[in-house]
Amino acid sequence: MGREGNILSPVVRDAWDTGGLSQLVKNDPATATGAHISIIGHITAEELRRYLTATQMGNGFANRFLFFYVRRTKCLSRGGGTPENLSGLCAELDASLTFARAREEIGMEDEAWTIWDAVYEPLSNGKPGLFGAAIARAEAHVRRLAAIEAVLDSRDAVTPDHLLAAIAIWQYCEQSAYCIFGDQLGDPDADTLLRALADHDGAMSQTEVSSLFGRHRTAQQLEALRQRLEKWKSIRVVSEETAGRPLTRWVLLPSSIALSSQVAGSVDYMSIAKEAKGNRPAIEERTDDRVPS
């Protein structure tokens, strides 16, 4: 995608949106209708942060993917062998595919709608920074995951258990995205300033802020930076009276994404969903520290 004129990014986005793909060429363009494409990629967090550009974060390419922070659970020097129940699993998957091909739409049971109504707003609320950009399609992912759960169960409609399972998967994906992108806002000046504020006990004078950038930022640029950070609720600018001219300070807010990991865990979707369902257990809880693969 890094090559000039490469169309892979819009093609991947179209595949997620509609499944209708085509080339923008005049003579004999290749087309595909109803395409279903799965992309599974493996990469280190460091490489992902290095090569995933701000454009790809902003144009919706990144948030069409689910991010899973994973590690291996075993060290198998001689391999793990072939699962004994693979043939049975393949038969179940084939039955689910046959069931799905005969359906045009997967609905939702009334009780599942009640849960969905409760979690929709927190799922769709935007969050700042690269983390927010990476999870901006939360509600769409959860609906798709729930439909997959239903299809694997050969059900025409999403049940509360299917929806709860989908929400649990998304909860992990959202926390994974925070582990990867953390407090980065995707704005170099903003990220530089927030790190500097944290290193200066949460406050810097206007002069210190200007010096941080080597006095290479105009007053208009610093004002624009202030407005962006105040919009993201990361800082506040206060004026302090002195014997001479008032002193202007940039103060880091305790609720700043740069200081608090609560952004990743502030919304407990599962608790909201279970409360809407009536606090009845619906899915098996994990009791160990294994990371899903």
Q: What is the dihedral of CA 125, 127, 131, 135, to 10 degrees?
A: 10
- Give the whole-number percent of the chain exceeding pLDDT 90: 37
Across 140-145, average pLDDT: 97
**Per-residue pLDDT at 180 exceeds 70:** yes
Higher model confidence: residue 154 or residue 27?
154
Among the residue ranges 36-45, 136-145, 272-281, the one predicted with the least confidence is 272-281
**Per-residue pLDDT at 280 exceeds 60:** no
Tell whether domain 188-252 is in CATH 1.10.10.10.
Answer: yes
pLDDT category of residue 279 using cuts at 50, 70 and 90: low
**pTM (2 decimals)?**
0.72
pLDDT at 50: 82
Contact (CB, 8 A) for 104 and 237: no
Across 227-256, average pLDDT: 81
Q: Count other Cβ atoms within 10 Å, centred on residue 249.
A: 17
DSSP per-residue string spanning 129-160: HHHHHHTTTHHHHHHHHHHHHHHHTT-SEE-H
**Per-residue pLDDT at 256 exceeds 80:** no
pLDDT at 286: 43
Per-domain boundaries in the chain: 8-64, 86-182+266-277, 188-252
pLDDT category of residue 89 using cuts at 50, 70 and 90: confident
